[in-house]
A and B are shown apart, each in its own frame.
Chain A
């Protein structure tokens, strides 16, 4: 099973309190700020995390990304699931 395959399409991922996506003015790009952690978010991760508002479902987030970036759905979905699984294990995303 690849990472995040078991996340339900109806899950509504969100950043829990104490985790924030922030534009890094001094160095450019985005960072994810969490307890004692500063994680650089590449443009793809930032695009996914911006959409994790606890309202949109995983399926809707993937739809939105496909429409915005005109990518191949299978590949986008795999990327999103992998990212959410990884951050959820670190308690940086709530599913």
Chain B
């Protein structure tokens, strides 16, 4: 193994995509359009090695995600390995596939936290968005099982055209479900969400109102619930510091073991990704070409290169620059300093203009 670049700090978080399988088909799903198949999924003992290497490397928190992690029957075993390595474990779930006994088993294996997604505050709309009848009712049950174990519960809701006007009700619903924390995340357009962008994009007024409504609840609910808010990208003036900077804080392991700086990184052509099957996690973090592609500031063009915000937002999101401008090195056009910033507003305006949104294109595994 070659010597790690001394200026690269170790990662803090690891997103473990245990499977791409999922009973839901949310139109804003961030999974790639080409989903890994079940046959290619890493086994539990490989995950055990990845977690041990992650802890050794300096990772503190692991996010067990997917797809739906409960689609894997060996989930308790995987959680057990995570806890054994001393990592803080977070289960990111739709709730579908969990039973009361399984929730108790996960708690007993040392799971630290559960993040449960909801699609809306009302059942009919929520089930339509998830493309799964009964999903909403099931989530109510799962929330009860989780809080009964004493594990902290986070409710996560993605905000888009169909529920933007219900943002207040969604936060109130999270309180009702006993959540300690709620994450209100405006849709980010990658993977299946990009395919559905025209169906998901709220108008500027809807996005602004939803944002203000949630901010207004912060004070009112202080001490009751912690509110985390992910702003609507296409209606912003400054870009998000995507994943806290490329290869700075987190890494993503796909179901088949490929290690990515972020979940959309594979959309960028020409990057070389390494797999946990062939390399140790430390070797990948410090030496894989994909991780070093956008580290530091040398890759930046103007206006980022000399910008005093470059250490705040790192030029924004590389995948978004690629998706919208065809150039992963360009300034994220969400930034008002980008020469192409007008494009973002034009897309948001055009996508949200029709009175009736186009139908969702629901995700599915390719039939092989």
Contact = CB atoms under 8 A, between A and B. Distances in A.
Nearest to B226: A91
B58 A17 contact: no
A35 B10 contact: no
A89 interface: yes
Contact of A38 (B60, B115, B226): B60
A18 interface: yes
B222 interface: yes
A29 interface: no
A18 B226 contact: no
Contact of A17 (B12, B60, B150, B225): B150
Contact of A20 (B112, B180, B183, B226): B112
A26 to B, nearest CB: 3
Contact of A35 (B86, B149, B154): B154
A89 B223 CA distance: 5
A38 B12 contact: yes
A38 B61 contact: yes
Interface of A is mostly: loop
Contacts of A33: 60-61, 88, 112
In this complex, which of B86, B90, B112, B225 has the most chain A Cβ atoms within 10 angstroms of its Cβ? B112
Contacts of B152: 16-19, 34-35, 91
Nearest to A17: B150
B151 interface: yes
A25 B86 CA distance: 11
B63 to A, nearest CB: 9
B228 A36 contact: yes
A18 B112 contact: yes
B181 interface: yes
A25 B85 CA distance: 13
Interface residues of A, number: 20
B57 interface: yes
B10 A26 contact: yes
Contact of A18 (B9, B13, B60, B151): B151
A38 B183 CA distance: 16
Given A91-B181, A91-B226, A18 B10 contact: no
In this complex, which of B90, B115, B180, B222 has the most chain A Cβ atoms within 10 angstroms of its Cβ? B180
Given A36-B90, A91-B225, A91-B226, 8 more contacts: A20-B112, A26-B10, A26-B57, A31-B60, A33-B61, A36-B154, A36-B181, A88-B223
Contacts of B151: 17-18
B113 interface: yes
A22 interface: yes
B179 to A, nearest CB: 10
Interface of B: 9-10, 12-13, 57-58, 60-61, 86, 88, 90, 112-113, 115, 149-152, 154, 180-181, 183, 222-223, 225-226, 228
Contacts of B115: 35-36
A89 B113 contact: no
Interface of A: 16-20, 22, 24-27, 31, 33-36, 38, 88-91
Given A18-B112, A33-B88, A33-B112, A25 B58 contact: yes
B196 to A, nearest CB: 26
Given A36-B154, A38-B61, A89 B112 contact: no
A35 B180 CA distance: 9
Contacts of B58: 24-27
Nearest to B55: A25
A6 B222 CA distance: 17
Contacts of A90: 226
A14 B90 CA distance: 21
Nearest to A27: B58
A35 B113 contact: yes
A16 B150 CA distance: 8
Contacts of B90: 35-36
A32 to B, nearest CB: 10
Contacts of A27: 9-10, 58
B3 to A, nearest CB: 17
Nearest to B149: A17
B61 to A, nearest CB: 6
Nearest to B156: A36
A88 B9 CA distance: 30
A91 B180 contact: yes
